[in-house]
Structure 1
């Protein structure tokens, strides 16, 4: 179904997390840490980790299927799948595999990589396809399996990350637009603050011709710099997105930030003067699931009946790149 529409609505959501759970106590058996130390500094108590037989594509397809069902659609109705991930099963991308698993035979599919900002960037990208009338029904998935790339002997980073996937269904609507405002930014000058980088060794193919061959290395992070960046930039980008939406913080029903650290979430809410009862957080249960964190939190709040149709949500992702962005949207048709 094609046609020029005025805007989009987010009409379904879903999520999927692995059954394996790593508690803080479990982690204290691996590295020199404790439950109290982790909770007081991060707000995290546990994280869900994918077993060796679970793929990122599997989790993504489960989350997308739940979102499509909530939307009252079938996979055959979907025109486009955007998979926001930094940990694809295949370096060439996993979105097409998700399309196959869903049996969404009419959908084009591609990956988008923007680390922990990925879901917000993918949601904004989906809106552009819908607003131009190119596609009518789009599934946006945020999914990551950072357990694959964590150094489990590094106590500064292994305590943070979990695996999961979350998804939403966006649909074109003729008379209004529920993506009310957005803002996105990147700053490559701070690229070295958070990395999952390639390291290679020289390989000589013939005299005078040397290439690099290697693999990706575990996550490295300057936690202090990332914290300072997030607390400074996230309130600013939300305020800019609200300005574009012609709204103020008083108009927000719910704040859903990337679930990186409870102290970051509280600091951002405080700077925006958003009361704690309007802040949705679940990193106590899941840790930092990167691009999956916002849609997982959204899905849980919707299914619990906390978020109601018509509610206005301010969301913001931030992370490696460094990248950060915000999207203000109204939930439901």
Structure 2
């Protein structure tokens, strides 16, 4: 037994910020940014907050009254919540009038958060129940707009999925390598700080090896995976991981050129894009990979 995605949606703020904006305020260029990251634009909030993004993503799920009644777990994955109490998941319960028999919590595993939420929910969800998992980030409020190596990477957005039990097996793997320096916000920096080179090396070495090891452990061949759905951090990272695994880039889909790095929202936003464009079909075998701050990584295998 495992879990499956019953419904999926995403929401991006209307304001689009292309690379030419940063040419005006920093010593950088569209070519420099896009050639090194694959990013050409990202979305930033204007008069919206975190809950606005979450509410709009959930609203686009178009939940029926039966689905609302059967939701028993709400998880919000984010690393840019701007208050500690109350948690965002409990606010979702109130905003959408879910029942009070709800287990609600927020989790912060940075860019690993969405896949970590899947793993958590898989161990909690009972037959006949649904769970709501949201990945949402507002990075534009925590970026250092004088740091050209970091500010150009991130965007705002939210993605939401409705999950249910499946007869098909799901498998998970995760890891942690404590490092409070290379990627942090609020530890010793009042703005998001990242040592990009170190994070890059972590992703293309540890994460790539973890994917291969995970597939061996669950006895699934690399060629049997239809899509490797990775956190959208940097197109060069994805290309390097695909090459190392011997996988073509058409099986390593990307939308980072349009949305940038949206951390815990990146995977549901990508999946929603693919689903709306008809790129996913029932039975597709998917390996999802989240990795980032902590440092952490989480892998999930499931069928669409």
Q: Please tell me whether the aligned partners of residues 13 and 68 of structure 1 are also in contact (alpha carbons under 8 angstroms).
A: no
The offset of 1:135, in angstroms, is 7.9
Structure 2 residue aligned with 1:151: 144
Aligned to 2:57, which of 56, 63, 66?
Answer: 63
Q: CA RMSD in A?
A: 1.8
Q: Distance in 1 between matches of 2:10 and 2:148?
A: 28
Structure 2 residue aligned with 1:112: 107
Change (3 A) 1:186 1:317: same
Structure 2 residue aligned with 1:210: none
Gaps of 5+ in 1: 1-5, 200-215
Per the normalisation by structure 2, the TM-score is 0.94
Change (3 A) 1:288 1:147: same
Q: Distance in 2 between matches of 1:34 and 1:252?
A: 37
The offset of 1:88, in angstroms, is 1.4
Structure 1 residue aligned with 2:168: 177
Structure 1 residue aligned with 2:181: 192
Gaps of 5+ in 2: none
Q: Distance in 2 between matches of 1:154 and 1:9?
A: 40
Q: Distance in 2 between matches of 1:164 and 1:103?
A: 23
Change (3 A) 1:135 1:143: farther
SS at match of 1:259: coil
Structure 1 residue aligned with 2:237: 264
The offset of 1:77, in angstroms, is 2.6
Change (3 A) 1:123 1:257: same
The offset of 1:73, in angstroms, is 5.3
The offset of 1:167, in angstroms, is 1.5
1:1-333 matches, within 5 Å, as 6-51=1-46, 53-67=47-61, 69=63, 74-92=67-85, 93-106=87-100, 107-130=102-125, 133=126, 136-173=129-166, 176-179=167-170, 181-188=171-178, 190-198=179-187, 217-331=190-304
The offset of 1:60, in angstroms, is 1.5
Q: Distance in 2 between matches of 1:320 and 1:234?
A: 13
Instruction: Give every structure 1 segment of 4 or more consecutive aligned residues whose post-TM-superposition deviation is greater than 3 Å.
Output: 71-74
Per the normalisation by structure 1, the TM-score is 0.86
The offset of 1:120, in angstroms, is 0.7
Q: Please tell me whether the aligned partners of residues 81 and 139 of structure 1 are also in contact (alpha carbons under 8 angstroms).
A: yes
Change (3 A) 1:266 1:73: farther
Q: Distance in 1 between matches of 2:65 and 2:10?
A: 16
Bigger mean CA offset, 72-81 vs 312-321 = 72-81
